[in-house]
Amino acid sequence: MSVSHLPVLSDGVLVPGDVASLAAAPVAHLQPVRTDLPDDADPDEIVADVERDGLSAPGSDADETEELHEVVDLAAEHGIDLKIVVLGENADKDSELRDLATDVGAHEGGTVLVLSPNQVGTFSDSVSRVALEAGQDHAYNGDPVVASKGFVDELVGHSNPWTPLTLVVLVVMVAAVVGVVVAKVRRASPADGPGRSGETEERASAVGTGSESPRIS
């Protein structure tokens, strides 16, 4: 039997075929699908930068870089593992920044904030999507430092709503104390009033009786 007539498997059935052509046919491999990313974003470089100090902002000057590091430290003080990525140009689609944030988060974990001049993308393995989107609303201003600070402030407010709660508790406590004091005063006033009035009348009667002078006949 010639090589060309050897049976081959096709759709689960052995059929005659060309073994040589079968061997030469390319084998398909499953590859992970990479999401669309901005043209100026190199995921490998960004991940390396973020892994080093939590920030990737190659286009930022020294002062801006220092301020962005301070924001990362501020977030850490509130228990937020923040990574900031600053791009010099906008992406074709807003969703690309979220894709990039997800890509970075898949490698480094934590909360990732990606900023471009007019776009924002986020990812987090610990912060809810509702909180992330609320934070994003404070990040559309084109200034990476102001945007990242606003983002962190909003996340901290969502995770620690202590100030409003403390005020409410304080008001309730003050109202309760005032109520107790007023109740005590009201209970004490009727009891003291008649008693004091009676004592006053008794003293007046005693004085009147004792002050009468004997008459001289």
State the average pLDDT for the chain.
76
Q: What pLDDT does residue 31 have?
A: 38
Token pair listed for 67: 């301020």
Residue 78 has a pLDDT of 93
Lowest mean pLDDT among 24-33, 49-58, 135-144: 24-33
Two tokens at 156? 């901290």
More confident residue, 93 or 193: 93
pLDDT category at 28 given cuts 50, 70, 90 is very low
Which H or E run contains 172?
A: helix 162-210
- List pLDDT tens digits, range 161-206: 445 555 666 677 888 788 777 778 877 765 555 555 555 555 555 5
Question: What whole-number distance in Å separates Cα of residue 164 and Cα of residue 186?
Answer: 33
Q: Name the least confident of 15-24, 98-107, 125-134.
A: 15-24
**Checking DSSP bridges between strand 13-16 and strand 82-86, what pairing results, if any?**
unpaired
User: Is it the case that residue 134 has pLDDT exceeding 90?
Assistant: yes
Residue 91 confidence (pLDDT) above 50 = yes
pTM for the model:
0.59
Q: How confident is the model at residue 128 (pLDDT cuts 50, 70, 90)?
A: very high
Residue spans of the domains in the chain: they are 43-159, 161-193
Give me the pLDDT at residue 125, please.
Answer: 94
- pLDDT given at position 169: 66
Domain 43-159 falls in which CATH fold?
Answer: Diaminopimelate Epimerase; Chain A, domain 1 (3.10.310)
Answer whether residue 105 shows pLDDT above 50.
yes
Q: What is the mean pLDDT of residues 151-156?
A: 94
Taking the C-alpha atoms of residue 18 and residue 38, their distance in angstroms, rounded to an integer, is 46
Q: Among 18-27, 125-134, 187-196, where is mean pLDDT lowest? A: 18-27
Q: Which of 13-22, 23-32, 34-43, 57-66: highest mean pLDDT?
A: 57-66
